[in-house]
Amino acid sequence: MATTHGAQILVASNRGPISYTLDEAGTLTAKRGGGGLVSGLSAIGSDADALWVCSALGDGDREAVRRGVGEAGVRMLDIDADVHADAYNGIANSVLWFVHHLLYQTPLEPVFDAEFRRQWASFETYNRAFAEALADGAAQGAAVLVQDYHLALVPRMLRERRPDLRIGHFSHTPWAPPEYFRLLPDDIGAQLLGGILGADRAAFLTQRWADAFTDCCHAVLGPGIPSGTRIGVHGLGADADFLRERSHQPDVDDRIASLREQIGVAPDGSRRKTIVRVDRTELSKNIVRGLLAYRELLEDQPSWRERVVHVALAYPSRQDLAVYRDYMAEVRRIADEINTRYGTAGWTPVLLHLKDDFARSLAAYRLADVALVNPIRDGMNLVAKEMPVVSDEGCVLVLSREAGAYEELGEDAITVNPYDVVATARALHEALTMPLDERAERTKRLAAAATALPPAQWFLDQLHALDPR
Ligand code: G6P
């Protein structure tokens, strides 16, 4: 809880640990989020003098701020809704996310026009609001952990206001290679890098992304990372205790029963195998190519028809942006097409669920024979780490070599080039036919690797790395 003298440990992120919904009767309901940061921060204990600064994201959050409803230790910033939309949808999700995940279709995109410059000004305003709130809330010499691409300008802005603070920046995404990063206008690229270099430490999920950041600094700013900034790497693992406990609650058992019913049994009465994926329906997750690979499997290895089901949980994400809505529609279209082409009276080849349901995700994890994680590019990908931990009977992980998790899990997964649909189909076949004893052995090793860096450790390591020397 922050004192009047300011907090000793501060976290800043766009999405905070709590959100509010507002119903028609005007009642506010709070919902706590999960994720690495939430469990990481809990590791320092509730007595710690901590403050989490985040954005008010919807009408419920904004109303909560207006009514003064909130939680001790959390400060939601009610930034003007248009400014926030420009910064979050316009710059963070349509430009920075696209650059770091290599998502542009370059013959037509990107175009950095006057509208982009206008949105960039909002991005600066939004970052400044965070820098001011942090400067205002921090005790002398406090540690501030700034999260992700949304807040890339904050470390520099905060350093200018409060040179006494110890500032870390953490990137949860990949980092673009210089030739791609330089699609950005030169002054904008320099501002982003310079913003992060305002921190004492800039940290990443893997060495690969840390190296790419250093390469961009050399390419854009000239040789040498300024001596004031250290570069760090902190992998983030699955939260084994939480997952094992949560995945055996009654609501998860209910979802298992209902999924089993939808999956059905093969004509000879044997259990159908399941290929499971769980993602936000997010362009980098490569859900469409996953479906194409599954179709290729059914074409190339027809003996799998009626004997396998692809359970695809693809939850809505960033639906304010047309490109995300279109992607979701494409996922739905291809899943329907596969079901129409191959499905029979007793067999639905693709079970596609689009409504976010954490208990169902855990149920699918438990049932998985094969985990399909094939992103175009991903900072880490926790699903790849969670499924081997939770699966009841072991699962084979088919993993993109472009996911950060590849560095830790690559040896015991079947790895794929995410663009190569034929190779992905072959990998699925190999996964489905792997002997059960080998599968069990690999799952054990995957689960051990996946849980080696629990979120609490990840958080504390970053904090300690900022300790005064
Ligand atoms: C990624 C980003 C996070 C972000 C999350 C969900 O993991 O690194 O910063 O919070 O996606 O995206 P959203 O836009 O819904 O916050």
Q: Which of 353, 209, 203 is nearest to 281 (CA)?
A: 353
Does ligand 1 lie within 6 Å of residue 100's CB atom?
no
- CA of 253 relative to ligand 1 center, distance in Å: 28
pLDDT at residue 2 in the model = 42
Q: Which of 453, 469, 449, 452 is nearest to 461 (CA)?
A: 453
- CA of 100 relative to ligand 1 center, distance in Å: 13
Same topology between domain 7-236+456-465 and domain 240-450: yes
Token pair for 282: 């997010």
The ranges assigned to domains in the chain are 7-236+456-465, 240-450
* pLDDT mean over 195-202: 98
Q: pTM of the predicted model, to two decimals? A: 0.96
Ligand 1 atom with minimal separation from the 171 CA: 8
Element (H, E) at 396: strand 396-400
pLDDT at residue 241 in the model = 93
Share of the chain above pLDDT 90, in %: 93
Residue 38 pLDDT class (50, 70, 90 cuts)? confident
Residue 384 pLDDT class (50, 70, 90 cuts)? very high
User: Could you tell which of 172, 282, 380, 381 is best to mutate to test the pocket of ligand 1, judged by most ligand atoms within 8 Å of the CB?
Assistant: 172
Distance between CA atoms of residues 412 and 339, nearest Å: 32
Structural fold of domain 240-450:
Rossmann fold (3.40.50)
Report H helices in 4-43. 36-42
Q: Which of 267, 261, 312, 266 is nearest to 285 (CA)?
A: 312
Q: Which of 215, 202, 198 is nearest to 162 (CA)?
A: 198
| Per-residue pLDDT reduced to its tens digit, 250-296 | 999 999 999 999 999 999 999 999 999 999 999 999 999 999 999 99
pLDDT at residue 469 in the model = 56
Residue 4 pLDDT class (50, 70, 90 cuts)? low
pLDDT at residue 3 in the model = 46
Token pair for 306: 């009626």
Contact assessment for residue 293 and residue 428, using Cβ atoms and an 8 Å cutoff: yes
- Which residue in this structure is represented by tokens 């991903």? 378
Grouping H, G, I as helix, E, B as strand and the rest as coil, residue 200 is coil
- CA of 147 relative to ligand 1 center, distance in Å: 10
Distance between CA atoms of residues 330 and 314, nearest Å: 12
ipTM over 0.90: yes
User: Considering only CA atoms, which residue is closest to atom 3 of ligand 1?
Assistant: 172
Amino acid in position 172: H
Strand-pairing partners, residue 302, are none
Does ligand 1 lie within 6 Å of residue 318's CB atom?
yes
Does ligand 1 lie within 6 Å of residue 35's CB atom?
no
- Quick one: 7-236+456-465 is in which CATH superfamily? Glycogen Phosphorylase B; (3.40.50.2000)
